[in-house]
Amino acid sequence: MAKRIQFSETGTPDVLQYVDYQPQDPQAGEVQVENKAIGINYIDTYVRSGLYPPASFPAGLGTEAAGIVSKVGSDVTAVKPGDRVVYAQSALGAYSEFHNVPQEKIALLPDAISFEQAAASFLKGLTVYYLLRQTHEVQAGETILFHAAAGGVGLIACQWAKALGVKLIGTVGSDEKAERAKQAGAWATINYQKEDIAARVAELTGGEKVGVVYDSVGKDTFEKSLNSLKRRGLLVSFGNASGPVKGVDLAVLNQKGSLFVTRPSLNGYVTNREELAQASSELFSLIASGAIKVDVSDAQKFPLSEAKRAHETLESRVTQGSSLLIP
């Protein structure tokens, strides 16, 4: 028997149970990974709470981890038992000691990158890759606005933007987080608990505002993000930390300057082995070179058995950077 987190109804972190289970042998094309470090992502809270409910119960949780290949199914050519690997976008169930993953979702881990660094950065780093390199291809010297800049995705974005010569204005919920985002390479920060986002963006850009806003906060910042855009600017709405954006009147895009809005997800950008190889090689080389640092503080490493406390901590907005579960 092994251990995993499962839940039988959606709700608060209290629904998460730490249980025994029998790992299944991998099917054709699948790889069984013995997880050594598990990535916690905000999307896991949406699944648990019922915003993105699972198809059936009891359900596993989590889609990202790093570890060692323990078994492979037939037709697996990408990896072999004993390989160090990382995966993201798996079926629910990564909050576990062993998880079966399709080989297309797996990348071999370079020796220079630890399991913890990989689990802290893979899904979030692939996200930053497509946001900054594909949804809108940022240019050196360009100024952008990025919300929740001291979060897991946010701190990687600050560092990646700096590496590309981009001036990232990061919004944060406290002065402590502002300091952390600045250290990670943000050009400027806005504490949205006490400053008006759009007015500060206008001030910081000499009245010009920005051509692109990356918004994962959702409901609370949607309007403020539109108000921070220059004429024909692009709002990339990629998350719902404060709740989903609903009931938008498209006329508002016309009134605020012929704006564009997109609602992308990683599943729409990294969809096959080639796209994964391209995105992960850019990410891994930035981590290996030290341009992106993804070390997780001890306070944000939780034993797998404490997934409930990990979710409570993430949702209470006190975390900086990524959080991990350790089996």
How many Å apart are CA 301 and CA 304, to the nearest integer? Answer: 9
Among 54, 60, 211, 239, binds ligand NDP (CB under 6 A): 239
Among 7, 16, 26, 42, binds ligand NDP (CB under 6 A): 42
Nearer to ligand NDP (CB atom), residue 32 or residue 319? 319
How many Å apart are CA 119 and CA 102, to the nearest integer? Answer: 17
The reply on whether position 292 binds ligand NDP by CB under 6 A is no
Stretch that binds ligand NDP, among 70-78, 134-142, 239-247, 273-281 (CB under 6 A): 239-247
The reply on whether position 266 binds ligand NDP by CB under 6 A is yes
Structure tokens at 43: 């999307």
Nearest-CA neighbor of 146 among 208, 200, 215, 194? 215
Q: What share of the chain is helix, strand, coil (3-state, %, to 5)?
A: 35, 25, 40
The four Cα atoms 11, 16, 21, 27 give a dihedral, to 10 degrees, of: 60
Query: Of residues 181-210, which lie at the interface with ligand NDP (CB under 6 A)?
Result: none
The reply on whether position 233 binds ligand NDP by CB under 6 A is no
Among 157, 235, 241, 292, binds ligand NDP (CB under 6 A): 241
Q: Distance of CA 303 to CAs 18, 182, 306, Å?
A: 11, 30, 5
91 alpha carbon, distance to own chain's centre: 16
Nearest-CA neighbor of 215 among 253, 241, 252, 187? 241
Task: Reduce the DSSP state of residue 74 to 3 states and report it.
Answer: coil
The reply on whether position 172 binds ligand NDP by CB under 6 A is yes
| Contact yes or no for 307/92 (Cβ under 8 A) | no
The reply on whether position 319 binds ligand NDP by CB under 6 A is yes
How many Å apart are CA 108 and CA 163, to the nearest integer? Answer: 24
Structure tokens at 90: 């798996």
Q: Binding residues for ligand NDP, how many (CB under 6 A)?
A: 28
Stretch that binds ligand NDP, among 85-93, 99-107, 108-116, 214-222 (CB under 6 A): 214-222
Residue nearest to ligand NDP (CB): 151
Stretch that binds ligand NDP, among 1-9, 30-38, 250-258, 259-267 (CB under 6 A): 259-267
The reply on whether position 63 binds ligand NDP by CB under 6 A is no
Among 98, 129, 238, 302, binds ligand NDP (CB under 6 A): 238
The reply on whether position 43 binds ligand NDP by CB under 6 A is yes
Among 4, 36, 84, 124, binds ligand NDP (CB under 6 A): 124
How many Å apart are CA 271 and CA 111, to the nearest integer? Answer: 25
Among 26, 102, 125, 151, binds ligand NDP (CB under 6 A): 151
Structure tokens at 203: 């001030």
In the complex, which residues of this chain contact ligand NDP (CB under 6 A)? 41-43, 124, 127, 148, 150-154, 172-173, 177, 216-217, 220, 238-242, 264-266, 315, 317, 319
